[in-house]
A = this chain, B = another copy of it.
Amino acid sequence: MLQVGIIGAGRIGRVHIQGILTGVPGARIRAIAAPHLTEEIQSLARAAGAKTLTEDYRDILRDPEIDAVLICSPTDTHAAISIEAMEAGKHVFCEKPVDLSLVKIQTVIDAARVSGVKYQVGFNRRFDHNFQALHKAIAAGKIGSVQVVKICSRDSEPPTAKFVRSSGGLFLDMTVHDLDMVRFLSGSEVEEVYAAGSVLIDPAIGEAGDVDTAAMVLKLRSGALALIDNSRQAVYGYDQRAEVFGSKGCISIGNDTPSTAILSTVDGITGEKPLWFFLERYLPAFQEEVRQFVEAVENDYPVPVGGEDALQATLLAMACTRSAQEGRPVRMDEFPVSHC
């Protein structure tokens, strides 16, 4: 039974606590750290059976009974706590993004290599049942060699301009998941990206220096091509689709819906809208990624998605940002970071 400490008990921290309690039988929550021990968090800690509840995450790192930590603290603390935790000999599951700085991500990767512990990054979408089905079918050769990858991601509601300002921009905040998907599904690294962005939803997003609508073409090392399109606002709900086309066929995934009900009336034949909220959509994926992390630790397997994946996705997001800003394709070897 893996003894786990949770660092950070905000929205995503609570998702992971709940996820471990209900579907990760191999892990036990021993400690929770949160900056403010509200009544709600105390109640959650009790329900989780946590022995320790502390305002200082270092209490967790010092506890010799704890094997692994989940870092769910604010983004700007991810890298530092990751390194501290690995130095303390803890296996680490870190929420994404590891950091917006390439240098810091590289430092984390190096720390993981040196320390020999497991370091997994929270690219939850890789663990979603639909994307998993895509990945497995491709790996099983169902569509032959991959020629075209298409990802469509649209949020149900646009962020505030304030959030936008600290987010690193659409490509680093939102597209980063799609870029990881291109690598995951194609099995190929990317050679060059071209990105176009537009402000069509909220002028305040433009004033904050960002775009709210984007389209990309990627050239992969394998020769395959990828297309991504993003929007910050799909009024019909959180839209997450993908299609991979190859020499022997094509496989695509659509959205999950609350039910399979279809209503036929004078107004048409109407099915349910996609699930609205990303946490609802990806809840089982948040659980599955931790389950696999625990499994990797227990059996000393490689983690399914590590620091190098975070680095590559971040590099690609930066390249997209640069491409959109400079209006030209950007080759990945413009970035002086070693490719994997």
Contacts and interface: CB of A to CB of B under 8 A. Distances in A.
Given A148-B229, A235-B265, A198 B216 contact: no
A234 interface: yes
A216 B196 CA distance: 11
B260 A130 contact: yes
A213 B147 contact: yes
A148 B255 CA distance: 19
A38 interface: no
B223 A249 contact: no
Given A133-B272, A137-B261, A214-B225, 4 more contacts: A130-B259, A142-B263, A236-B249, A257-B269
A143 B236 CA distance: 11
B225 A196 contact: yes
A259 B133 contact: yes
A250 B234 contact: yes
B268 A270 contact: yes
A245 B269 contact: no
A328 interface: yes
Interface of A: 21-23, 25, 47, 129-130, 132-134, 137, 142-143, 145, 147-148, 150, 152, 154, 194-196, 198-201, 213-217, 219, 223-227, 229, 231, 233-236, 239, 245, 247-273, 327-329
Contact of A264 (B25, B200, B219, B273): B273
A229 B227 contact: yes
Contact of A328 (B154, B250, B264, B328): B328
A227 B215 contact: yes
Nearest to A130: B259
A327 B254 CA distance: 32
A25 to B, nearest CB: 8
A269 B236 contact: yes
21 contacts: A22-B22, A130-B259, A130-B260, A133-B259, A133-B260, A148-B231, A150-B229, A154-B245, A194-B217, A195-B217, A196-B217, A200-B223, A217-B217, A229-B245, A233-B247, A235-B265, A254-B260, A263-B268, A269-B270, A269-B273, A329-B329
Contact of A236 (B129, B148, B265, B272): B265
A226 to B, nearest CB: 7
Contacts of A227: 215, 217, 227, 229
A316 to B, nearest CB: 15
A217 B216 contact: yes
